[in-house]
Structure formats: structure tokens, C-alpha cells
Amino acid sequence: MKCIHCGANYKTMELECPYCHAPNPKGREWLKERNKAENKYKRERINVINKGTPYIVSRIIMYIAITMVTFSVISFLAVVAFFIREEFKSVGYVSRSEALEQMEKYYNNGEYLELYFYMSEKDLFDEEYYVYSQAALLTNKYHLYQSKKMSMLKEIEDGVMDDDYYVSYTLSESIEIYKVDVGVYDEEVSENQAIYDMYREEIMSFWVGTLGLTEEEIEWISDKENYLYFTDEQELTAKIIERGIKQ
């Protein structure tokens, strides 16, 4: 299955996306049903052992085990079928040609956030639609960053910034956007160059004008070859706050 948050493919029974760690309701429901089946099997096994002879016990346990395995498989398939049914009920089927037409329309009109919502609703994030997937995910990340940035500036204006949450968040997100770090769709393509340029120009202005980053710091965080650890971002955040944030 595909993660609606980052577009990565992973097994349905995983409890969360291994890439962005978003929770997977299908996997959690399957685990819940499996645990119920295992607990029931253990209870039945104990009851049988307490009541029967060794031969009868072994035969009954075998039948119970087969029953429980069958029950687990049926439960899992029922859960998957339920989610598929609910998904089609709320989203509805969309043909490939219809999906391409709608995605192309949003993309060509520069409505990248609408493109993100459409692709999320229809579960369309895929390598086949790489350009659209990347543009949509990058734009959604950019809008989340903008929202946190506005909250940070509002706190500074009101003089109520009690911690470094917004500074740390906007710094981290802006770095990922600048580097086009959007999960499995992180390879730059010429079709999306205008989007990169637009977001990078605004982010550079934010780094210099608001956060007051030096040329050396900007060169360091914007280089795709440099992997920034959480501690690196923490140290840079502390320097930014110490120097003071401009409005």
C-alpha cells in the first residue's frame, strides 16, 4: 500500500510508514484482530489441557490451532475488505484517464495544494505520476512551513515566545523544502524547476532577513551532500535565538 503522507510503498500489515512514521490504521486493526485470535487460542489450549487425556488433548489442540489460524486469516481479510469498501465509498472510483486529466489541470494552473488534496483523496501518489507527486508533496510541506512561520512571527510580535518550537520547526522544514527532501520523490526534475526556484527564493529571504543566518551557515544547510543531524539543527536554532529574530 502507499502512504498518503509521503507516498512511499510498504506492507499493509505494517503498524506505521517506515519512512515518515505516519500510523497505518489497517496494520493496527490487523494486529488487534491477530492478538484477539491468539489470546482466544491460548485460553482454549489451557482449558483443553486441564480437561483431556494427552492424545485427545493433542488432537483437540491441533483442531483449535487450525481454527484459530483460519479465523486470523479471515479476520485480516475482513479488515482489509472493510477499509477498501470504506475507501471506495468515500472516495469513489476514478479512471486513469480522468485522474491524469484532473492532475494535469491542477498542475498547469499552478494549483499545487489542490493537486495535493486531490491526489491524497484518490490515493494517486506513485512513481508513475512522479512530477505531480513531487509538486504536490513539496507544496503541502511549504504551506505547513508558512503556517508555522506566521505563528512564530505572531509570538515574537506579541512577546510570548516561550520556547524554540516554531524556530526549530520552520528551520527544519525550510531546509527540507530547499533540498527538495520529500521522501521517495526527492530527485529534482526539470518540469518542477519553477516550483523549486519560487520556494527557494522565499526561503532564502527568510533565512537571511528573519533568521539572520550567515553565508557560511546557509552554504552548510543548503548543500544536499551535508546530512544534518537533529543536534546540528538544535545548535543552529540556539544560535538564531541568541542573535535575535527579525520581524
What's residue 159's pLDDT? 87
How much is the mean pLDDT over the chain? Answer: 84
Residues in the chain: 247
pTM (predicted TM-score): 0.64
The CA distances from residue 221 to 152, 174, 226, 233, in Å, are: 21, 10, 7, 9
Better-predicted residue by pLDDT, 121 or 79: 121
Q: Hey, what's the cell of 129?
A: 505520476
Report the C-alpha dihedral over residues 190, 191, 197, 198, rounded to 10 degrees: 180
Nearest to 175 by CA among 140, 200, 149, 212: 200
Using pLDDT thresholds of 50, 70 and 90, give the confidence band for residue 238.
very high
CA distance 194 to 108: 12
Residues 22-28: contacts with CB under 8 Å, at least 24 apart:
25/83, 26/1, 26/79, 26/80, 26/83
User: Which range among 8-17, 80-89, 173-182, 207-216 shows the weakest confidence by mean pLDDT?
Assistant: 80-89
Indicate the DSSP class of residue 16.
B
CA distance 165 to 120: 28
Q: 7 burial class (0-12, 13-18, 19+ CB within 10 angstroms)?
A: buried
What's residue 146's pLDDT? 97
pLDDT in tens, 145-185: 999 999 999 998 888 887 899 999 999 999 999 999 998 99
Percent of the chain with pLDDT over 90: 53
The CA distances from residue 125 to 1, 56, 83, 96, in Å, are: 11, 54, 18, 13
The answer on pLDDT for 89 being more than 50 is: no
Q: Hey, what's the cell of 64?
A: 483449535
Alpha helices in the chain (DSSP H): 25-51, 54-91, 96-108, 112-122, 130-158, 165-178, 193-205, 215-222, 230-243
**HSE-up of residue 147 (Cα within 13 Å, Cβ side):** 6
Contacting residues for 204 by C-beta, under 8 A, at least 6 apart: 178, 218
Indicate the DSSP class of residue 227.
P
Q: Hey, what's the cell of 219?
A: 552554504
Question: In 10 A of CB 232, how many CB atoms?
Answer: 13
Using the structure block, give the residue that is written with the C-alpha cell 500510523.
23
